[in-house]
Amino acid sequence: MNLPPRPRPAGLAAALQRRAFLRGTGLGLLGAAGLGSLAACGDGDTGSSTGSASGGSDGLGELTIQLSWIKNIEFAGEYFADSKGYYTDAGFSNVNLLAGGSAGTAAEAMVLSRKAHVGLSSPTLTGPAIVNEQAPLKIIGTTFQKNPFCLVSMEQGKPVRTTADLAGKKIGIQTGGNETIFDGFCQANGIDKSSFEIVPVQYDPSVVVSREVDAFMAYLTNEPILLAARQIDGQPIVPVTLGFADNGLPVVAETFTVLQSTIDDQRDYLKAFLVAEIRGWTDAVASPQESAELAVNTYGKDQNLDLEEQTKEAEAQNTLIVSDDTRANGLFTMTDELVEQNVEALSQMGTTIEADDLFDLSLLQEVYEENPDLITG
């Protein structure tokens, strides 16, 4: 199996948008978007604020979602919502799923320029845009309760299981946004960066196989699975991972970022979106195999994805999407504790922001109050 690179452009914002969970700079977004003279998607596209979030033909118009990465398994819930007609049931005439990638425009910029109604992103992108550029954005929910950033190493090499194991190792870190994330991880854990060597790398974990580095910054749901499919010295590689979310940096990922004005003026439009997303991701979580088939055979057909590997990634990402809290409160929700943990984690990465300036989870709360059957446990 090939080990494709996972480019993430430089800049603070390029932290978590994919996994894709981060690409873009998070800087210069307002200038790029030109907020003073933005062309809206159009009244026919965005619909009115009078539609019902419970579904039906409400004339909400088109829905455009900027994905945070290429069309792979990461967006299985969106594929289900589209293919099973959940967006249509919610009142949308059409949905556009815009692929991201290494050369793609940051979700924040797409939302600010009104080229997308919703952008899949991360607090590590949206937070700096709000603080540094006064971008009128909010996060209204999160697909992943935990971010998938990790260090991956090999059992056959010099494994890094704990932060203490970093000492004396060569650690491969991608320049730009990943440096910011890794610096926050080190600060949160009181790690002395002089105790190991940081090696600038690209996004191909083969550098671990070749032993150019001992560990490599990666996604729990991607590169470790790719490595496990490889062999070294005639034996299957045994990946070892050290997750950031469980070690001092519990930022969420694959968040839904929208304009504040959309919340103010088209609340039911966003609630309809959330209903369709909940239904889609409920199906995706329940069927990793079918999720992978949609990614491989339909939505990501041009990406030459591997069905077995995508199925394993679907299973892995389910552990980040579903938690005891989401079973009790519903998909995409965040407890007050998790919100505060994210605010603190951002401060570790140099972004100081109040929770209310970054998150507005009231729409999601209303959706579940109005549709309690969407909480499937």
pLDDT of residue 94: 96
- The domains of the chain are located at 12-146+251-374, 149-243
Tell me what pLDDT residue 57 has: 42
pLDDT band at 103 (very low <50, low <70, confident <90, very high): low
Q: Report the percent of the chain where pLDDT is more than 70.
A: 84
pLDDT per residue as tens digits for the range 48-85: 332 333 334 448 999 999 999 999 999 999 999 999 99
Confidence band, pLDDT 50/70/90 cuts, at residue 31: low
**DSSP class of 359:** B
Specify the amino acid at residue 234: G
On the question of pLDDT at 285 being above 60, the answer is: yes
Contact 252, 145 (CB under 8 A): yes
Query: Taking 90 as the threshold, does the pLDDT of residue 158 lie above it?
Result: yes
The pLDDT value given to residue 39? 33
Comparing 12-146+251-374 with 149-243, is the CATH topology the same? yes
Task: Tell me the pLDDT tens digit for each residue of 249-272.
Answer: 999 999 999 999 999 999 999 999
Q: What is the mean pLDDT of the segment spanning 149-167? A: 97
Domain 149-243 fold? D-Maltodextrin-Binding Protein; domain 2 (3.40.190)
What is residue 41's DSSP assignment? S
Q: How confident is the model at residue 377 (pLDDT cuts 50, 70, 90)?
A: confident
pLDDT for 180 equals 85
Q: Compute the distance between CA of residue 150 and CA of residue 346 in angstroms, rounded to an integer.
A: 17
Q: Which residues contact 370 (CB under 8 A, 6 or more apart)?
A: 53, 54, 271
The crossing angle, in degrees rounded to 10, of helices 123-133 and 336-348 is 70
Residues contacting residue 255 through CB under 8 Å, at least 6 positions apart: 120, 121, 122, 123, 126, 139, 141, 142, 143
CATH fold of the domain at 12-146+251-374: D-Maltodextrin-Binding Protein; domain 2 (3.40.190)
What average pLDDT does the structure give for the chain? 87
Q: Which of the two residues, 203 and 151, has the higher pLDDT score?
A: 151
**Residue carrying structure tokens 């965040």:** 334
> What local confidence, expressed as pLDDT, does residue 239 receive?
98
Average pLDDT on 140-153 reads 97
Rounded to an integer, the average pLDDT of 19-30 is 41
The pLDDT confidence band at residue 352, using thresholds 50, 70 and 90, is: very high
